[in-house]
Amino acid sequence: MNAAKSFSSRLAGWLPRIVVAPSLLVVIVTVYLFILWTGVISFTSSKFVPVYDFVGLEQFVRLWATPRWHTAVANLFIFSALFLLLSTGIGLLMAILLDQNIRSEGFLRAVYLYPMALSFIVTGTAWKWIMNPGLGIQKVVNDLGWTGFTFDWITDPNMAIYTVVIAGVWQSSGFAMAIFLAGLRGIDNSVIKAAQIEGASLPLIYRQIIIPMLRPAMLSVIVLLSYIAIKSFDLVLALTNGGPGSATELPSTFMFSATFRRNQMGVGAASAIMMLMTVAAIIIPYLYSELRERNNG
């Protein structure tokens, strides 16, 4: 009786761990073990199928000797920097405007947010069409009488990456707006009232009090947008397919074509490891601070 009871209570004590174990196992295998596996492949001469011979850093050397990869890395920096800056800026501005007791707030919020529901493939398809110089914006403006107007960035190797920025910002700034808006709603009104009584002007109140108080929202926005930026594989594929030439290549599209189209699995794995290290450098400090704060709180 006693033994049985202690067994069942011990079982009850272990039950949560037993229930969470399969998820943990799946994640350990599909995240951590697979990362390790990709890491191993990056040190082999794998081409079409994985082979497990150790060739040292050869694939990394080859990767960094590929001009296409340099384009991809440079593009990632241009794209991420502009995408983050513009999405955050526009999102914040719209959230502040929308927070001024707007009559049709619900409708406007839905309008700004709907692109987030779309697939990057859909967004890319739509923008590819809008920015097509022969049929899209350029033609409309030309037909209106301004015949010298050109907007052919999508076919211009020097400008094509900015078309990816435009489509990306269009898709994601509404999402940033939604998070900022929720942050603004969470701010205690009495702080603002007090500042107003002191005679501070509205822009000053925003700059000195409200925007600093949005720090947690800002952090969420930046982390989530960085994640979208590094993932933005489908957008490039649908919009420009990496072209013209390799003008809009990103690390994500580079990895995909190296691995699945050019049979250079080793180089593909090496590029994936480089991507992972970039993400880890951003995310791990963030996760660390988040989890530590929670422990203290």
Partner 1 sequence: MANALSQQTQIGDALSQKNRMRLGRLFIYGPLAVMAVLYLMPLWVMVVTSLKPLDEIYGGSFIGPPQTVTLDAWRAAWSEACIGTECTGLKPYFVNSLLMVIPAVVLSTGIGAINGYILTKWRFPGANFVFGLLLFGCFLPYQAILIPMARTLGLLGLAGSIPGLVFVHVAYGICFTTLFFRNFFVSLPDELTKAAMVDGAGFFRIFWSVILPTSIPIIVVSCIWQFTQIWNDFLFGVSFTSGGNSPITVALNNIVNVTTGRKQYNVDMAAAMIAAIPTLLVYIIAGRYFVRGLTAGAVKG
Site for partner 1 in 214-273 (CB under 8 A): 216-217, 219-220, 223-224, 227, 230-231, 233-234, 237-238, 241, 251-252, 255-256, 259-260, 265, 268-269, 271-273
Q: Are residues 182 and 93 in contact, defined by beta-carbon separation less than 8 angstroms?
A: no
Q: In this chain, which of 51, 121, 191, 194 binds partner 1, going by CB under 8 A?
A: 121
Whose Cβ is closer to partner 1: residue 13's or residue 158's?
Answer: 13
d(CA 272, CA 278): 10
Nearest 5°: the CA angle 279, 123, 166 is 70
CA 133 to chain CA mean position, Å: 28
Greatest pairwise CA separation for the chain in angstroms: 94
Number of chain positions touching partner 1 (CB under 8 A):
101
Stretch binding partner 1 (CB under 8 A), from 60-68, 69-77, 182-190, 204-212:
182-190
Lookup: tokens for 225 = 């947008």
* Residues between 141 and 180 that touch partner 1 (CB under 8 A): 143, 170, 174, 178-179
Q: In this chain, which of 89, 146, 204, 290 binds partner 1, going by CB under 8 A?
A: 290
Residue closest to 276 by CA, chosen among 12, 91, 32, 24: 32
For the bound state, the minimum distance from the C-beta of residue 297 to partner 1, rounded and expressed in Å, comes to 10
Q: Are residues 154 and 68 in contact, defined by beta-carbon separation less than 8 angstroms?
A: no
Q: Which residues of 135-155 are buried (b: 16+ CB within 10 A; e: fewer)?
A: ebebeeeeeeeeeeeebbbbb
Residue closest to 35 by CA, chosen among 272, 253, 257, 227: 272
Q: In this chain, which of 62, 139, 157, 162 binds partner 1, going by CB under 8 A?
A: 139
Whose Cβ is closer to partner 1: residue 209's or residue 241's?
Answer: 241
Whose Cβ is closer to partner 1: residue 79's or residue 112's?
Answer: 112
Stretch binding partner 1 (CB under 8 A), from 60-68, 148-156, 190-198, 286-294:
286-294
* Residues between 27 and 46 that touch partner 1 (CB under 8 A): 27-28, 30-35, 37-38, 41
Q: Are residues 278 and 226 in contact, defined by beta-carbon separation less than 8 angstroms?
A: no
Q: In this chain, which of 117, 145, 147, 148 binds partner 1, going by CB under 8 A?
A: 117
* Residues between 11 and 30 that touch partner 1 (CB under 8 A): 12, 15-17, 19-20, 23-24, 26-28, 30
For the bound state, the minimum distance from the C-beta of residue 208 to partner 1, rounded and expressed in Å, comes to 20
Lookup: tokens for 53 = 């011979």
Q: Report CA-CA distances (Å) from 112 to 86, 122, 186.
A: 15, 17, 20
The residue assigned the tokens 């397919």 is 241
Whose Cβ is closer to partner 1: residue 4's or residue 291's?
Answer: 291
* Residues between 54 and 73 that touch partner 1 (CB under 8 A): none
* 98 contacts partner 1 (rule: CB under 8 A): yes
Angle between helices 34-41 and 265-296 (to 10 degrees): 140
